[in-house]
Amino acid sequence: MTPSVTSKSLRFSFSIAPSHSQSNLFPIISLPNPNFHLFRQLPLLKPISAVQSNFLVPEVQKTQTFPATNGPNFPAVKLPPDTGAIVVDRATESELKENGFRSTRRTKIVCTIGPQTCGFDELEALAIGGMNVARINMCHGTREWHRQVIERVRRLNEEKGFGVAMMMDTEGSEIHMGDLGGATSAKAEDGQIWTFTVRTLGLNCPERTITVNYDGFAEDMKVGDELLVDGGMVRFVVTEKIGPDVICYCTDPGMLLPRANLTFWRDGSLVRERNAMLPTISSKEISFLIVMTLRFDREARKLDGGLTPKETLHEASRNLIDLLAFDISWILHDWLDIDFGIAEGVDFIAVSFVKSAEVIKHLKSYIAARSPKNDIAVIAKLESIDSLSNLEEIILASDGAMVARGDMGAQIPLEQVPSVQGNIVQLCKQLNKPVIVASQLLESMVEYPIPTRAEVADVSEAVGQQADALMLSGESAMGHYPEKALAVLRSVSLRIERWLREKRHSTLEVPISSSVCIGIPEEMCNAAVKMANKLEADALFVYTKTGHMASLLSRNRPDCPVFAFTPNSSVRRRLNLRWGLIPFCLSFSDDMESNLKRTFSLLKARGMINSGDLIIVVSDLLQSIQVINVP
C-alpha cells in the first residue's frame, strides 16, 4: 500500500492491492481503488446534551428519569423511539473515561451464573466489574430458574444501562452425577469408600452415595477402572460391583459438585466405547424427535402443498435418521433446552461435546426455521477427543468456539492441553471466529480469596495468545469470591495486553486460512488496522449492520480499541464476545459524512472522545477508509 501526496492539504490517496509477496495459496484479487481521506477539520452539528444514563438524546427529546432500584449511580432511563440516541455499556464507558483509549481491556470475560450470583444485586456487581457475557449452564437448575436469570440480566441492561449478552450452555452427551440428594456439595476424602449407582434415590440418598444418569454405568465399569470426576478434580478406583451399584475407593480427594461430569479410564487409556452405549431411545423419545423433525420440515419448507403427507413423513424420517447418526447423545435432552433458549431470546447457544460439523449445521438450520428473526450465534464447545480430528470443519460451521479444557483434559494427556489450546485459538483467529478459553482458570478461588501464581500464569498465557474471551465457571457460579475472581481476570488481562503493546509483540495481521475466501472487506480491514497501528490512531470506528466488518477488524488485533456502531441491539450484544470491540447501538444512514458529524457530536458531549483524536473510519456501507482528526 503506497501513499502518494495529491495536494497541499492533508489528503492522501491509497490504492489497495494484494502484496506480491503474498502466499500463492490465495488468488490475486482485482480490487477497486477506494480513496482514503485525511481531513484536518470537519464541520460539527450543534452539540447535543448528555442525559445521565447510558443513552444520549437531544435536549428536546429527554424523557423522565426514573429512580434506580439498586444503587444511586445507574439511574433507569426510558429510551424514546428516536434515531438520535447512542447506547453503550456503562462499565465499558467508565473504563474508557478512566483509563483512556489505549488502556481499555481488550479481552472479554464470560461469567457463569449460579447460586452465588443469580440475584439482581450480584449480577449488577459482576456487570460493574466487567462481565461482558452471562452464561447459564443447563446441566444445573431448572428452566424456571434459568428464565429468572435471563429476565434479571435483561432488566439489568434496560434499567442500569449495561449491555451484557446472554449465553446458554447445553448439557450435551456427558455422563454425569446426580444432584447429591439436594446438597450443594460433598467432600470426598482420601481412602473413603463411595457408591455410584443408577438407582433412583431422590432426596433419600444414603451417605457417600452418588447417582449416575447413565443406565449402563454398572455394566460398562470393570474392577480396577479409574473414575474421574469433573475432569480429574476427584478420582476413584472401582473395587467392586454389586448389581446396579459400583463401589469405589477415593484416591485423589476433592470437592464433589452436583451434576459433575464423569469419565472412565482403563489401563491408562480413556474408555471411549461408552459413547456407543448411551441409553437407548424409548418409543416416547422417538415420538418426540419425529414431532420435532416434522415441525422443522414444516416450518423450513413452508410446504405450500409442495409435499404430500406421505412425502413429508418420509423426509422427516430421513432427517431423523441423519440426526440420530450424528449425535443422539445430546439430541434427546438438549432439544427442549434449545427451544427454551430460542424462546427466551438468548444471544449464544453453546453446544456441548460437538464431534462433527453436522451437529452445528443442523442446529443452525433448526434455529433459523424456529425463529427467523432471532439471530442466535452457535458456539461449539471443543471438549472431546473426537472433535480434534474435525477441528477446522467444526469451527467453520460454528459462530465461535469454546476451549473446554477441563473435559478435554480428561480425554487427552495433560501435557497436550496447552498446545491444543494454542492451536484452537490460532485457528479461530485465522477463520475469524471468536474463541473462549474456559475451565479451571482460577479454580482455587472457588474456596480462597486469591489465586495461585500458577493460575495467574495460565490466565496470562491465554491473554497472550489473544483469545477473544476468558470464562469463569465454578469461580463465579458457586465460589465464595466471584467478584474477586472477576477482578483478577480483568487486572491480569489489562497488564498482559499493555505488555504486549509495549513490546510490539501483537500480530498486525493474522494469516487467513485457505478455507476462507479473501475479499474486499478483508483487505480493507487489514489495511485499516495497519494504518491505525502505524499512525498510532486513538481508535478505529466501524459502521456495520451485521457486525462482519467489526469482526474483521477485531481479528487483526489492533493496538487501539474498535468502536463498533450498529443499529441492531442483538448484533451489539453478540459483538460483546469479540476481542477489542466496544459495541454501540446507533442508527445511521448511507451518508457517512452525516454519520460522522452526529457520532462525533454525541461522543464529545459524552466525554468519550476529544478534539484532535485521530480516528480511522471504515464501514460496510462504503468501500473506503477515512483518516480523521476529531474536530
Give 3-state DSSP helix, strand, coil % of the chain, rounded to 5: 40, 20, 40
What does the pLDDT look like over 60-72, one tens digit per residue? 333 333 333 333 3
Say if residues 211 and 262 touch (Cβ distance below 8 Å). Answer: no
Q: Which three cell numbers stand for residue 93?
A: 464507558
pLDDT at 510: 60
Question: Based on the number of CB atoms within 10 Å of its own CB, is 385 exposed (0-12), middle (13-18) or buried (19 or more)?
Answer: middle
pLDDT at 214: 82
- pLDDT confidence tier of residue 332, bands split at 50, 70 and 90: low
Integer CA distances (angstroms), 214 to 170, 196, 267, in order: 17, 11, 22
φ, ψ dihedrals at 257, nearest 5°: -115, 150
pLDDT at 502: 83
- pLDDT confidence tier of residue 289, bands split at 50, 70 and 90: low
d(CA 527, CA 521): 10
Between 239 and 233, where is the model more confident? 239
Say if residues 601 and 44 touch (Cβ distance below 8 Å). Answer: yes
Q: What is the DSSP letter of 459?
A: H
d(CA 566, CA 377): 17
Between 553 and 184, where is the model more confident? 553
3-state secondary structure 234-293: EEEEEEEEECCEEEEEEEECEEECCCCEEEEEECCEECCHHHHHCCCCCHHHHHHHHHHH
d(CA 64, CA 62): 7
* Range of lowest pLDDT (207-216, 217-226, 404-413, 502-511): 502-511
What does the pLDDT look like over 104-161, one tens digit per residue? 999 999 999 999 999 999 999 999 999 999 999 998 888 999 999 999 999 999 999 9
d(CA 478, CA 402): 21
d(CA 76, CA 157): 10
Which H or E run includes 344?
Answer: helix 309-344
pLDDT at 323: 46
Q: What is the DSSP letter of 553?
A: H
pLDDT at 281: 32
**Read out DSSP for 159-222?**
HH----EEEEE--TT-EEB--GGG-S-EEEPTT-EEEEE-S--TT-PPTTEEEBS-TTHHHH--
Integer CA distances (angstroms), 443 to 92, 354, 473, 485, in order: 26, 24, 8, 9
* Secondary structure class of 403 (helix, strand, coil): strand
d(CA 469, CA 474): 16
Q: Which three cell numbers stand for residue 378?
A: 452457535
Please determine, for residue 4, whether its predicted confidence score (pLDDT) is greater than 50: no
Alpha helices in 503-608 (DSSP H): 520-535, 548-555, 569-574, 592-606
Q: How far apart are the first and last CA of the chain?
A: 27
pLDDT at 370: 86
pLDDT at 26: 32
Q: Give which of 68, 52, 54 is closest to 121, Cα–Cα.
A: 68
Say if residues 576 and 108 touch (Cβ distance below 8 Å). Answer: yes
Please determine, for residue 313, whether its predicted confidence score (pLDDT) is greater than 70: no
Alpha helices in 431-502 (DSSP H): 453-464, 474-477, 482-502
pLDDT at 557: 95
Under 8 Å CB-to-CB from 110, ≥6 apart: which residues?
131, 132, 133, 134, 135, 167, 436, 438, 469, 470, 471, 472, 577
Angle between helices 309-344 and 283-301 (to 10 degrees): 90
- pLDDT confidence tier of residue 291, bands split at 50, 70 and 90: low
Under 8 Å CB-to-CB from 481, ≥6 apart: which residues?
445, 448, 449, 475
φ, ψ dihedrals at 439, nearest 5°: 85, 115
Query: Which residues, in sequence order, are bridge partners of residue 56?
Result: 86
Write down the pTM of the prediction. 0.77
**Which residue is listed with cell 434496560?**
158
d(CA 575, CA 191): 49
Question: Based on the number of CB atoms within 10 Å of its own CB, is 482 exposed (0-12), middle (13-18) or buried (19 or more)?
Answer: buried
pLDDT at 285: 42
Task: Read off the pLDDT of each residue in 616-630 and give the average, rounded to a whole number.
Answer: 91
**Which residue is listed with cell 502466499?**
23
Under 8 Å CB-to-CB from 287, ≥6 apart: which residues?
none
pLDDT at 288: 53
Proportion of the chain above pLDDT 70, given as a percent = 74
Please determine, for residue 236, whether its predicted confidence score (pLDDT) is greater than 60: yes
What number of other Cβ atoms are within 10 A of residue 108's Cβ?
A: 26
What number of other Cβ atoms are within 10 A of residue 426's Cβ?
A: 18
* Range of lowest pLDDT (46-55, 197-206, 340-349, 611-620): 46-55
Query: Which residues, in sequence order, are bridge partners of residue 254?
Result: 188
d(CA 414, CA 412): 6
Task: Read off the pLDDT of each residue in 272-282 and give the average, rounded to a whole number.
Answer: 39
What does the pLDDT look like over 168-203, one tens digit per residue? 998 876 788 888 877 878 999 999 999 999 988 766
What does the pLDDT look like over 433-453, one tens digit per residue? 999 999 999 999 999 999 999
pLDDT at 126: 98
φ, ψ dihedrals at 180, nearest 5°: 55, 35
Task: Read off the pLDDT of each residue in 4-17 and give the average, rounded to a whole number.
Answer: 34
Rg of the Cα trace of the chain? 26
- pLDDT confidence tier of residue 390, bands split at 50, 70 and 90: very high
- pLDDT confidence tier of residue 272, bands split at 50, 70 and 90: low
pLDDT at 76: 42
pLDDT at 296: 53
Domains present along the chain, CATH in parentheses: 4-62+279-333 (no CATH), 91-168+440-506 (3.20.20.60), 175-271 (2.40.33.10), 520-629 (3.40.1380.20)
d(CA 195, CA 132): 41
- pLDDT confidence tier of residue 227, bands split at 50, 70 and 90: very high
pLDDT at 292: 55
Q: What is the rounded average pLDDT for all residues in the chain?
A: 79
Please determine, for residue 563, whether its predicted confidence score (pLDDT) is greater than 60: yes
